[in-house]
Amino acid sequence: MKTNVQLAQTEAWEIYSQIMDYTYEIKVYLPDEEPPEKGFPVYYLLDGNDYFQFGRDIVKLQSRNTQKTAISPAIVIGIGHKHLEERVKMRFYDFTPPAPQYVYPDRIKEKNLNLGKHGGAEKFLTFLESELLPIISKTYHINREKQALFGHSLGGLFVLWTLFTRPELFQVYLASSPSTWWNDYEIRKYAGKFCEKKINVDRKLFVSVGSEEMFMVEDAKQIVSSLNDYNIEKLHKSIYVAPDENHASVVPTIMSRAFRFAAF
């Protein structure tokens, strides 16, 4: 006899964003113990439809022995797009910065894809800050000083863009295979402006990429190298190139390492 399987200690709900005029799927993993006095750390995962369960299981299993894993009991939040057929276009809108025009590499042009609208990152970040995060803070006992944002590919681009434009929003930024190539590497301009400001609060940045991701390996190294050139004392950085992994396979390999880097 077949039965439906439910994830233990996991809630699922939806939130309609007035800012985005879109309904997002939210999944929440809650540790099965009393929260610490200041509340649980929180990992926010973009593309939650794909990556929530990875993140949930990492925290659930490894927080059993924090002394060895450096991963404490934490809340994991997956932020997902509601309909499968909408995800590609919504990702290109939600995760890309606004720009007067967009330049596409030949590999994108050759596929003749309909990518939909671009440049919704400001609105999406406002959704996170003004609509989602306040609900999470009100509903769960969280530590607002221990929050991480994780994203892969275009989601990784958004993680970098958030760090460079609103570094106060999260304490840890986890960018997996970030699509820094987007719009002719415009993220480098944001990185330069960010470095010139020299943040005055401690932040962490973890950039990862698979060794088989061709040009994206050098792209990831370049963005970290450019930040190193400015020697920002309060930005703690790390880059990891995962051996033998490609763009599709890298996330399960690096997510545990990324969470340990946060060291909440």
Active-site residue set: 153, 213, 247
The amino acid sitting at 186 is: E
- Measured in degrees and rounded to the nearest 5, phi and psi for residue 118 equal -125, 175
| Cross-sheet strand order for the sheet of 172-176 | 10-17, 22-29, 75-81, 40-46, 142-152, 172-176, 203-210, 235-242
- Only one residue has tokens 């990185």, namely 191
The amino acid sitting at 190 is: Y
- Only one residue has tokens 């402006």, namely 193
By the 8 A CB rule, do 232 and 13 touch? no
Query: CA 245, 251, 254, 256: dihedral to nearest 10 degrees?
Result: -150
241 Cβ contact list (under 8 Å, min separation 6): 208, 209, 210, 211, 217, 220, 221
Q: Are strands 40-46 and 235-242 parallel, antiparallel or unpaired?
A: unpaired
77 Cβ contact list (under 8 Å, min separation 6): 26, 27, 28, 42, 43, 44, 45, 48, 136
By the 8 A CB rule, do 93 and 81 touch? no
Cα 247 to Cα 90, 187, 214, 242, distances in angstroms? 19, 20, 9, 11
